[in-house]
């Protein structure tokens, strides 16, 4: 795959040229979550009782990791050889897995209800945080197996690290965003934003833009919010994609922070410009179900979508030849 920063300019035509270059249909299980490795060459997908493993350097699939005993739900890459995931049996434990050896190294306990999300610190990936319906956020270090931090939240929280790993955000009640300094999280949030509600859409995911200036808020409705990370002001609301069944949609933002992508019930992936919230293009998908998860690779010009299949999107040959 091509390194985005040096070979593919982030322009509208590059996104219009995206095509489903690889399609994988290895399981009939529901595809739940995905994670990229730090270098962007590895991709993991959780699918109820198996972890699907892909090498994005050449777009090939590796032997999957069977998780029949415990199941797998939320997951996150740590190092090139390890990941952490929650299980589907209890939903409360985080398991540290050696991907290459297909063996567990450690279990992390503490949560008492289902885990909502797991996020690793982008500048210290062995450290990660998890949030749960037990209204807590726990912080772990996979090198020392230490549970080094705990935050009680009044409501279940979505979580995200900023690109520099210096702060993390929580989102609760689909209206409040709190920012915490990683070094002094025990002192509470240093900033709290309560967004002006214009709808009743439930938030499903938050993600910082690569520039760190914005927070992308995904919802169960037909709107995505583009929030100023310094002021809490909703700069844009992206509208046009369809979600009549109100499923959990996870949108994504490109490197460079210029474009947002989200799945839609009309069998397309919508690409919006963050400059003016306009629709750049629609990418037709080869399955009926909406792409409930889309994620832009932070190191390559590559988009991954989860629907019925795992699809890797890359610019078509004509575009590559011209650029």
The domain total for the chain is 2
Contacts 24+ apart (CB under 8 A), 196-201: 196/234, 198/237, 199/223, 201/174
> Is 74 contained in some domain?
yes
**55 and 151 inside one domain:** yes
Per residue of the chain (323 residues), what is the pLDDT tens digit?
434 443 445 799 999 999 999 999 999 999 999 999 999 999 999 999 999 999 999 999 999 999 999 999 999 999 999 999 999 988 999 999 999 999 999 999 999 999 999 999 999 999 999 999 999 999 999 998 888 999 999 999 999 999 999 999 999 999 999 999 999 999 999 999 999 877 889 999 999 999 999 999 999 999 999 999 999 999 999 999 999 999 999 999 999 999 999 999 999 999 999 999 999 999 999 888 899 999 999 999 999 999 999 999 999 988 877 76
> Is 288 contained in some domain?
yes
- For the full predicted model, state whether its pTM sits above 0.75: yes
**46 and 151 inside one domain:** yes
DSSP for 226-284, written as a single string: EEETTT--EEEEEE----TT----B-EE-TTS-EEEEE-TTSEEEEEETTT--EEEEEE
The predicted pLDDT at position 321 comes to 75
The predicted pLDDT at position 312 comes to 97
Domain range holding 111? 32-157
The predicted pLDDT at position 323 comes to 67
The predicted pLDDT at position 9 comes to 53
**42 and 94 inside one domain:** yes
**19 and 44 inside one domain:** no
> Is 199 contained in some domain?
yes
**200 and 113 inside one domain:** no
Q: Which of 146, 161, 33, 143 is nearest to 79 (CA)?
A: 143
> Is 273 contained in some domain?
yes
**208 and 292 inside one domain:** yes
Are residues 131 and 137 in contact, defined by beta-carbon separation less than 8 angstroms? yes
The predicted pLDDT at position 318 comes to 85
**146 and 208 inside one domain:** no
Tokens read off for 64: 């999957």
**64 and 16 inside one domain:** no
The CATH number for 284's domain is: 2.130.10.10
The predicted pLDDT at position 288 comes to 83
The predicted pLDDT at position 5 comes to 40
């Amino acid at each position: 795959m091509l390194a985005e920063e040096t070979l593919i300019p982030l322009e509208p035509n590059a996104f219009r040229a995206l095509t489903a270059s690889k399609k994988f249909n290895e399981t009939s299980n529901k595809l739940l979550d995905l994670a990229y490795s730090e270098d962007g060459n590895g991709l993991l997908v959780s699918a109820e009782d198996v972890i699907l493993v892909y090498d994005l350097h050449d777009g090939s699939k590796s032997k999957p990791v069977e998780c029949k005993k415990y199941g797998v739900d939320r997951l996150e890459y740590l190092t090139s050889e390890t990941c952490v995931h929650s299980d589907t049996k209890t939903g409360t434990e985080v398991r540290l897995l050696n991907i290459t050896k297909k063996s567990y190294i450690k279990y992390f306990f503490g949560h008492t209800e289902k885990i909502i999300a797991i996020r690793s610190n982008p500048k210290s990936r062995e450290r990660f945080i998890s949030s749960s319906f037990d209204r807590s956020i726990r912080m772990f270090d996979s090198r020392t197996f230490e549970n080094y931090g705990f935050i009680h939240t009044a409501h279940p929280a979505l979580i995200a690290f900023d690109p520099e790993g210096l702060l993390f955000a929580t989102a609760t009640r689909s209206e409040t965003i709190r920012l915490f300094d990683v070094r002094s999280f025990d002192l509470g949030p240093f900033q709290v934003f309560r967004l002006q509600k214009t709808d009743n859409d439930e938030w499903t995911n938050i993600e910082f833009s690569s520039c760190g200036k914005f927070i992308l808020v995904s919802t169960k409705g037909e709107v995505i919010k583009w929030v100023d990370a310094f002021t809490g002001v909703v700069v844009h609301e992206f509208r046009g994609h369809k979600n009549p069944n109100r499923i959990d949609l996870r949108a994504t933002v490109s490197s460079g922070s210029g474009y947002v992508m989200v799945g839609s019930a009309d069998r397309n992936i919508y690409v919006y410009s963050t400059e003016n919230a306009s629709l750049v293009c629609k990418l037709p998908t080869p399955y009926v179900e909406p792409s409930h998860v889309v994620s832009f690779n932070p190191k390559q010009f590559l988009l991954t979508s989860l629907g019925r299949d795992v699809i890797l999107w890359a610019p078509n040959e004509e575009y590559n030849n011209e650029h």
